Structure formats: C-alpha cells, structure tokens
Chain A
Amino acid sequence: MRIDPTIWPKLHGASTHFPMALTMAAALFDGLGFVWPKSSPRKAQFHAAGYYTIILGALGTFPAVLSGLFMTRGQLLGHDALRFHHLFVWPAFAGLVGLGVWRALANDKASSPRGFAVYLVVLFLTAALMAGAGYWGGELILNS
C-alpha cells in the first residue's frame, strides 16, 4: 500500500497548531495564576486551565512531530529554513514533553512557589521556542 505523500504536509499543518496554541495558552494561564492574589478563586481556576492545556499540548506534539518527520522523509535537521525550524522544534519538543510530565506528576499540590516559578520560566522559554518553530515553519511554506 502506498500512501499519498501529499497527506503529510496536510496532517502536519493540521496537527502542529494545537501544541503551539496550547503551550502559549498554558503560559498565559499559569502566568496569570502565579501572579493572581491567593484569596481569589480565579487563581486555582487559572492553574487548572494551565494544567490541562500543558498536558494536552504535550500530547499534541507527538502527531505533529511524526507527521513532520514523514513529510520531510526523516530529516532531523535539513538545510536553510528547515534547519532553523528544526533547531527550534527539537528543544521545544523535549521541553514540552518534560513540562507535561512534570505537571501531570507534581501538579500544584506538590509544587513549592519556587519550584513552580522554575516551571514557569521553562514554560515561557518553551513557548518562545514553539513560536520560533512556528515562524520558521511559516517561512518554509511561504518561500516554497
């Protein structure tokens, strides 16, 4: 059975925006939850939103990465814009999976304010890497 190769760019485009959007949403929700006053019930609500978005974002990276690998016929780095795309993608992928696992296991109950601050810094960094990966992904499409 031969799969139509044009399916992979379509699947990559369809799957890759979920982890990008969810990571940025998680950064926003958890950032707001971190600075929100403790007395407000909103704080817990923001953290709950951040919890689910980061876990869904981490799960969403797998179809995005796999479809991308099929699309580029197994290129881990490549050249030109594809290389820049991958230089952002791989650390973002590892970071997002790590964040998702940490958040799923530690959650809020187990994390100290200092531990959560470190988590937030890594989350913002990962969101920035995702934005870079998205930018270079766009460059690949627009310049092709």
Chain B
Amino acid sequence: MQFPLEMRALGWAVLVALLSLGSAWLAAISIKAMPSFGAAPTSSAGSSSEIAVSPKLVDQGRELFGMSCSECHGDDAHGDEGPDLHNLPISNARTAVTIKKGIKGEMPTFARKYDAAHIAALVSYLRSLR
C-alpha cells in the first residue's frame, strides 16, 4: 500500500520533530552534567548589579530564609512545595526581583516585608548554596 507523498512527508515531519525534542532533552541532561556548565556561577549570571557575598550577609540571609522561605522551599532550600534553590540559573538582580515581586499564583511578594538590604542578604544566602 502506497501512501501519498504528503502523508509520508507528514510521518517524517512528526518523526524528526520528536527526535529534535528528544535531542534537546538529551542535550539539557548532558549540559547539566558538565561541571563547567552545571555548576553554580561564582558571582551573578551576567548581572550588572553585583551583590557582595560576605559571611555576615549570608548568615543574615539564612536567618531570613528560615523565617519566610523554608516553609515552601525546604529547610535546606532543596525544595519542597516550592523549587530547589541551589544553582539558580538566573542573575542576582532577577532573583531579587522575584523575591520582591513574587510569582503570580505561585509565590507571594515580599516587597512590604523586606527592604533592599534584607533582599540582598537573601540573595547572598541563595548564592552561597552548594
């Protein structure tokens, strides 16, 4: 039985599209496994607003994290109801904006609870996570 050319082409199109998605998935796994790509950045991920990481700031951030974030992200920040916060693939500035504004339907805003210094401490703590 011979299918028309456009139906055969459709079969190939679906097959190649699925293979491409599979290849992207494999590439993502391989990239995550590469130490030079999967590891956490030493500073921010290309951010213009660097946040200094000092042990004091990290400790302060850890304390704030325990008060406001650990309920959803877990005591060790490895995730619970919320995601794992180790090796965040976003910049410090983006992390600070997310803490401040929250995520609609997923995470509350902390703009009224924490000022810029508090948020900087939280970001420092998150960056210190290994």
Contacts and interface: CB of A to CB of B under 8 A. Distances in A.
A87 interface: no
A102 B12 CA distance: 7
A94 B41 CA distance: 31
A144 B90 contact: yes
Contacts of B12: 101-102, 105
A82 B90 CA distance: 9
A79 B13 contact: no
A14 interface: no
Given A98-B13, A99-B13, A105-B12, A144 B32 contact: no
Interface stretch (B1-9, B58-66, B114-122): B1-9
Chain B binding surface, main DSSP class: helix
Interface in B1-42: 4-6, 8-10, 12-14, 16-18, 20-21, 24-25, 27-32, 36-38, 41
Contacts of A111: 6
Interface of A: 2-3, 5-6, 9, 61-62, 65-66, 69-70, 72-76, 78-80, 82, 90, 93-95, 97-99, 101-102, 105-106, 110-112, 115, 140, 143-144
23 contacts: A6-B46, A62-B20, A65-B24, A72-B89, A73-B37, A73-B89, A76-B28, A79-B83, A79-B103, A80-B103, A82-B90, A93-B21, A94-B17, A97-B16, A98-B17, A101-B16, A101-B17, A106-B5, A110-B6, A115-B6, A144-B47, A144-B91, A144-B97
